[in-house]
């Protein structure tokens, strides 16, 4: 962002009362979520309304809004723990971002006979990366995880390095992978909070959402039509309203783990529990609480948040800024909010329509819950000056 050396914060407080005018669910108007911050913090925002949940029988809990990635409920969310097969969320994310989904791979011998859950891949059989992803996320095949690592990364070690690089890119400080399947290793760990953020990142991809919301799927076996029937281990699918994923996990050391997601009235929630005594039942409680206490609120229509900046060296003295799209934010039901503008002191020409120059911070109970980028509304060229004007500064 081009701006003067000295930046000041212009606080324009726009206080809105959450009346029925503003809290109409999006589905009534047929609208979709249309805005997402360009940069998401590496840790979910712990707001004042984030509640501790001692009654949940899991050692670590994190529930976030998938849109803003704000922490809604939490318990031991920052404690480092093993994650078992929920590891495969990152495995899938890296594979989707780096692999050719329709390329057919020959299953190597290194991927055969892996301990734990398996789809019983045979050496030499051929499957596409897409088929392997279904094997990975529905049946939780450890052999599929190794096959993906070798096929996409060129080797298990190389692929694990890709997983760790992706975690570092996201700013995750407590997540480290030593394998692509999640079999217990003391150096292989995450936190409930960071696992929720990994899941939110993966759910940016429609293919990931499609796979983890699928209850059953058929893939080939040794090239024949008489293939494998894969069954999703997530018991919430079909048994909880709005459930749309994500991944189960279990090892003796890590205990039962579950990452779930559900969506109602435009609010999409991601819940994570690690070392959970009753994951399905506990996730129903967590998701119910989220939908009971929070809703998606349209805090501004496109163009509602406006400001101007002094423009130096341009064909005009000022340039306009606004939010280009409707803004929806997850907020506690019945709570007020306000918006503060954070703008540079001025801008230097030329500027182009769509350039980001500043932001609007959405505050609830004094805490930042969302950031809205403000864009230039028009292109302004540098003002042409004559030799004498440049010489004498006129």
How far apart are alpha carbons 207 and 200 in whole angstroms? 13
Residue 199: both structure tokens together: 């899941």
Q: What is the CA radius of gyration of the chain?
A: 24
- Specify whether 173 is catalytic: no
Selected catalytic residue, list 60, 68, 85, 118: 85
Selected catalytic residue, list 88, 247, 275, 284: 88
Measured CA to CA in angstroms, residue 300 lies from 17, 31, 244, 335, 355 at distances of: 12, 13, 28, 16, 20
Query: Which H or E element spans position 364?
Result: strand 356-364
- Specify whether 140 is catalytic: yes
How far apart are alpha carbons 191 and 251 in whole angstroms? 16
- Specify whether 307 is catalytic: no
Q: Which residue, chain included where needed, has tokens 């899938």?
A: 92
3-state secondary structure 210-265: HHHCCCEEEEEECCEEEEEEEECCCCCCCCCCCEEEEEEEEECCCEEEEEEEEEEC
Selected catalytic residue, list 140, 260, 261, 295: 140
Q: Find how far residue 198's CA is from the centre of its chain.
A: 6
Active-site residue list? 85, 88, 140
């Amino acid at each position: 962002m081009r701006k003067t050396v000295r930046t000041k914060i212009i606080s324009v407080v726009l206080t809105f009362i959450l009346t029925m005018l503003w809290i109409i669910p999006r589905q009534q108007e047929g609208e979709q979520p249309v805005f997402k911050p360009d940069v998401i913090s590496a840790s979910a925002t712990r707001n004042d309304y984030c509640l501790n949940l001692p009654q949940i029988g899991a050692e670590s809990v994190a529930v976030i809004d998938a849109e803003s990635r704000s922490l809604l409920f939490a318990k031991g969310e920052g404690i480092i723990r093993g994650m078992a097969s929920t590891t495969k969320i990152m495995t899938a994310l890296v594979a989707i971002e780096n692999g050719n989904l329709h390329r057919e791979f020959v299953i190597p011998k290194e991927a055969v006979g892996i301990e734990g859950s398996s789809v019983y891949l045979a050496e030499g059989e051929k499957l596409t990366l897409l088929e392997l992803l279904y094997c990975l996320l529905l049946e939780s095949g450890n052999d599929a995880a190794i096959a993906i690592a070798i096929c996409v990364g060129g080797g298990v070690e190389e692929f694990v390095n890709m997983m760790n690089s992706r975690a570092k890119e996201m700013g995750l400080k407590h997540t480290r992978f030593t394998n692509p399947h999640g079999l217990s290793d003391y150096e292989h760990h995450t936190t409930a909070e960071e696992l929720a953020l990994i899941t939110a990142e993966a759910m940016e991809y429609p293919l990931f959402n499609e796979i983890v919301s699928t209850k059953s799927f058929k893939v080939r076996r040794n090239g024949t039509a008489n293939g494998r029937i894969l069954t999703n281990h997530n018991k919430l699918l079909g048994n909880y309203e709005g459930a749309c994923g994500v991944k189960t996990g279990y090892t003796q050391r890590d205990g039962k783990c579950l990452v779930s997601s559900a969506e109602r009235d435009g609010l999409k929630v991601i819940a994570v529990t690690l070392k959970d005594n009753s994951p399905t039942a506990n996730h129903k409680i967590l998701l119910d609480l989220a939908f009971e206490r929070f809703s998606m609120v349209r805090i501004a229509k496109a163009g509602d948040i406006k400001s101007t900046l002094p423009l130096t060296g341009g064909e005009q003295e000022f340039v306009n800024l606004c939010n280009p799209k409707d803004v929806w934010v997850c907020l506690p039901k019945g709570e007020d909010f306000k918006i503060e503008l954070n703008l540079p002191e001025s801008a230097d020409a030329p500027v182009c329509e769509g350039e980001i120059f500043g932001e609007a911070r959405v505050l609830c109970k004094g805490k930042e819950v969302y950031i809205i980028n403000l864009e230039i509304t028009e292109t302004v060229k540098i003002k042409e000056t004559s030799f004498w004007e440049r010489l004498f500064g006129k």
